[in-house]
Amino acid sequence: MEQFRLPKIPMPKLTLPHAVQEVLAEAEEKLAHRPKLLQLFKNCFPNTLETTTKLLDDGTTFIITGDIPASWLRDSVEQVIHYVPLAKNDPDLQRIIGGLIKRHIQYIHIDPYANAFNESANDWHWNTTDVTEMSPWVWERKFEIDSLCFVVRLAYTYWKETGVTDFFNAEFKSALRAIIDLFRREQRHFEQSPYRFTRNNGIPEDSLRNSGLGMPVNYTGMIWSGFRSSDDACDFHYNIPGNMFAVVALRQMQEFAEWVFRDMDLLAELKELEFEVDYGIKLYGIYRHPEFGPIYAYETDGFGNYCLMDDAGTPGLISIPYLGYTTADDPVYQNTRRFALSKENPFYYEGTAAKGIGSPHTPQNYIWHMALSMQGITAQSVEEKLELVALLESTDADTGFMHEGFHADDPSVFTRSWFAWSNSLFSQLVYRMMKDGQL
């Protein structure tokens, strides 16, 4: 196996935008009674801007994931999403977020199947043995349905929060067309898709079986995905939370079509595609569990086979209300949540230090901080939110930051000390609770 040696990219430390400084000042007052939580928030809230963000001369923004010198479409969105509500009256934040949207559009035109990209066409790759159609711009080419949905999510949320429209140009509309065409193709993956991916490194989760095509699927109306949000291969290639996210993205694109581009033909096409995907979720994506009742499966193949689990990454089953597909009080979601937070979920762990959801991406008994943060964001009771914040606060291994996974019995044993997405999601939970007077 030949893996690229991770290079170091100098990331100039930005001066924090005024709106971000105001949030940190607000936290000094509202979290003063919890000194450790205050310090965690002061470290984590600006972490993306201080360590991973680079403003480029072409007006775009390049954001690395942290300890890997590449920009994931998914990660980069979630690394900045907590800044979007602050951007309306802050030109510096608008430059950062608007620039990221523009860079995403460039990347989609390069390769809509890729999940992670380089700053330039430097031919850096996570693994040099990947068998797929690589580009010198592409760091990794694992097709994950959520990557494209996150691009839409950021553009939509930024538009709604700020009213800024300067990025709605011909390039943006043609990127939407690329997304729609890919979604259409991947509804019939085996018949129409050119996408293949294998990695010769001996790790089964890094390759698609069946000569890079993936395992067989039946037509359902849903969109095929090669990999999960953890970057691990799907067992069954209709990922349910990913398709839920696609439904939300298609609804958001409908607003672009109707109110920005005034394209009624595009609007009708998007409505039809949304209906097909959503119908497939409702028909094929619900499993009648003997203990929990109807729950959303994590994956299915359309032949009656199901993967029953939840993964710490977003989109996952716990994050369904966060994505906007349904509300937290939806009965099927509530059943699904109880399943995901039980030992029936093979990646739910309980230890002496913590309990929560992990991932096949990390070792057994490793709980992810992101899963705890998402559990808190989607919790309905203040009591559960407070429990999650306390758990996050007590499992940072006194580093002052969130991590990827940590051992359920010993938080000092952890993966990824520099993982900006995890810091941002934690910050989002704390900031929401701070604004709601819950801390």
Which tens digits make up the pLDDT trace of 16-37? 999 999 999 999 999 999 999 9
Q: What's the confidence (pLDDT) of residue 388?
A: 98
On whether both 34 and 174 belong to a single domain, the answer is: no
Residue 187 has pLDDT above 90, yes or no: yes
Q: Could you tell me if residue 4 is inside a domain?
A: no
Residue 355 has pLDDT above 90, yes or no: yes
Query: What mean pLDDT comes out for the span 163-187?
Result: 98
Residues 275, 150 share a domain: yes
pLDDT digits (tens, 9 = 90+) for 59-98: 999 999 999 999 999 999 999 999 999 999 999 999 999 9
Confidence of residue 202 (pLDDT cuts 50, 70, 90): confident
Q: What is the dihedral of CA 158, 9, 105, 221, to 10 degrees?
A: -90
Q: What is the pLDDT of residue 219?
A: 98
Are residue 67 and residue 199 in the same domain, yes or no?
Answer: yes
Residues 164 and 263 in one domain: yes
The Cα 50–Cα 332 span in angstroms is 40
- pLDDT at position 2, please? 39
* Mean local confidence (pLDDT), 106-111: 98
Q: Burial, 170: exposed, middle or buried (Cβ in 10 Å; 0-12, 13-18, 19+)?
A: exposed
**DSSP line for 115-138:** SEE-SSS----SBTT-BS---TTE
- 294 and 334 together in one domain: yes
Average pLDDT, the chain: 96
Domain boundary, last residue among 344, 379, 404: 344
Last residue of a domain, one of 314, 344, 374: 344
Distance from C-alpha of 172 to C-alpha of 108, rounded to nearest angstrom: 10
Residues 217 and 230 grouped into a single domain: yes
Mean pLDDT over 309-314 rounds to 97
Q: How far apart, in whole angstroms, are the C-alpha atoms of residue 232 and residue 250?
A: 25
Q: Do 43 and 130 sit in the same domain of this protein?
A: no
Omega before 136 within 30 of 0, i.e. cis: no
Q: Is residue 1 included in any domain, yes or no?
A: no
Specify whether the CB–CB gap between 101 and 84 falls below 8 A: no
Judge whether residue 337 has pLDDT over 60.
yes
Whether residue 298 sits in one domain with residue 367: no
Q: Is the pLDDT of residue 374 over 70?
A: yes
Q: Does residue 116 fall inside a structural domain?
A: yes
Instruction: Tell me the per-residue pLDDT of 216-243, one tens digit each, with 9 for 90 and over.
Output: 999 999 999 999 999 999 999 999 999 9
Percent pLDDT > 90 in the chain is 95
| Cα 178 to Cα 261: distance, rounded to the nearest angstrom | 16
Within a domain: residue 87?
yes
- Sign of the four-CA dihedral 42, 44, 46, 50: positive
Do both 261 and 371 map to the same domain? no
Q: Does residue 231 form part of some domain? A: yes
Residues above pLDDT 70, as percent of the chain: 98
Amino acid identity for residue 288 in this structure = R
Task: Tell me: pLDDT of 9 over 70.
Answer: no
pLDDT above 80 (res 411):
yes
Query: Which domain range does residue 99 map to?
Result: 58-344
Q: How many domains does the chain have?
A: 2
Range of weakest confidence among 5-19, 125-139, 296-310: 5-19
pLDDT in tens, 342-354: 999 999 999 999 9
Q: Within a domain: residue 11?
A: no
Separation of alpha carbons 286 and 293, rounded Å: 10
pTM over 0.95: yes
Is pLDDT above 60 for 5? no
Q: What is the DSSP letter of 238?
A: E
Residue 24 counted as domain residue? yes
Are 99 and 188 in a shared domain?
yes
Asked, for residue 12, whether it belongs to a domain, the answer is no
Do residue 206 and residue 234 come from a single domain?
Answer: yes
Q: How many CA atoms lie within 13 A of 404 on its CB side?
A: 18
Confidence of residue 8 (pLDDT cuts 50, 70, 90): low
pLDDT above 90 for 13: no
- Residue 10 confidence (pLDDT): 67
Q: How confident is the model at residue 4 (pLDDT cuts 50, 70, 90)?
A: very low
Query: 205 with 334, same domain?
Result: yes
Domain boundary (324, 344, 364) is at 344
Here the CATH number for the domain that contains residue 215 is 1.50.10.10
Assess whether pLDDT exceeds 80 at residue 3.
Answer: no
The residues with which 238 forms a beta bridge, in sequence order, are 300
